[in-house]
Amino acid sequence: MKNVLLTGSTKGIGLAIKKELELSKYRVFGSGRTNLNNINYLSVDLSNTDNAKLLYKMAKEALGNIDILINNAGCFFYDSIDDMDFNKAKELINLNFITPCLLCSLVAKDMKKNNYGRIINIGSISGAVGEAYASIYSATKAGLSGLTKSLALELAQYNITVNQINPGWVETELSDSVLAKEEKEQIVSVIPQKRFIEPIEIAKLCKYLISDDAKGLSGQSINLCAGLSCGS
């Protein structure tokens, strides 16, 4: 039985990943800002990068070993670059990029010793193609892509794969809460498949990427976006 450390596990994409992997008999230690009474969960703010070590420590104590890391936790905001609140931007950079880097560093030491590991970074199509008024967010996700490729090379000899999934627009409670019906219809109209991605699609791709069937896949950034990255 493989052990998974999954950040951002209480809602949307993260919750779908957690449920899918647990159905497949993976042991999952999750994290989020929601308070849950669960021994395999830590309520923690990962925009405070000091908490990366705490999360790693608690996950190790609960699981005994971390075979798989899925960096899913993240945040997003719209703003023009000339009106940027850089305190807010710093929080975003910490959560979306610095903490994933730290967690990769921490788990890599154990994975190298065990000659086995799987790391998945959840990026965004915005990091692959850019998005106006989301420059800092896009930059963090593009940074994850560079991290993914570099670590894949660095860790390949230790039977460790590192890949990234770049979702497009995803059907979640968050998207429903921030988008008016008319806005959502406008977005759908420019997506080639005329739909949002479902969280379960991302979860199933995660399950494949951590399986032995995908051991030859590493350093890849996969755009799971209903064709949005291909253009209109």
pLDDT at 203: 98
Q: List b or e across 63-102, with b for residues whose CB sees 16 or more CB atoms inside 10 angstroms.
A: beebbbbbbbbbebeeeeeeeeeeeebebbbbbbbbbbbb
Q: Which domains occur in the chain, in start order?
A: 3-221 (3.40.50.720)
Catalytic residue positions, numbered = 137
Q: What pTM does this model have? A: 0.96
pLDDT at 18: 98
Does residue 10 come out as left (phi exceeding 0), alpha (psi in the -120 to 50 range) or beta? alpha
Q: How many residues does the chain have?
A: 232
E-assigned strand segments in 81-215? 117-122, 160-167
Closest CA to 7 of 41, 43, 32, 38: 32
Residue 112 burial by CB count (10 A; 0-12/13-18/19+): exposed, middle or buried? middle
Who's near 149: CB < 8 A, 6+ residues apart?
Answer: 219, 221
CB 6 within 8 A of CB 30: yes
Q: What does each of the 232 residues of the chain score in pLDDT, given as a tens digit?
A: 899 999 999 999 999 999 999 999 999 999 999 999 999 999 999 999 999 999 999 999 999 999 999 999 999 888 899 988 989 999 999 999 999 999 999 999 999 999 999 999 999 999 999 889 889 999 999 999 999 999 999 999 999 999 999 999 999 876 776 678 888 899 999 999 999 999 999 999 999 999 999 999 999 999 999 999 987 5
pLDDT at 49: 97
Give CA–CA dist 33/200, Å, rounded: 22
Beta pairing partners, 68: 4, 118
CB 182 within 8 A of CB 143: no
Neighbours of 210 (CB within 10 A): 25
Give CA–CA dist 161/42, Å, rounded: 26
pLDDT at 178: 66
H-helix or E-strand spanning residue 144: helix 135-155
Give CA–CA dist 211/25, Å, rounded: 12
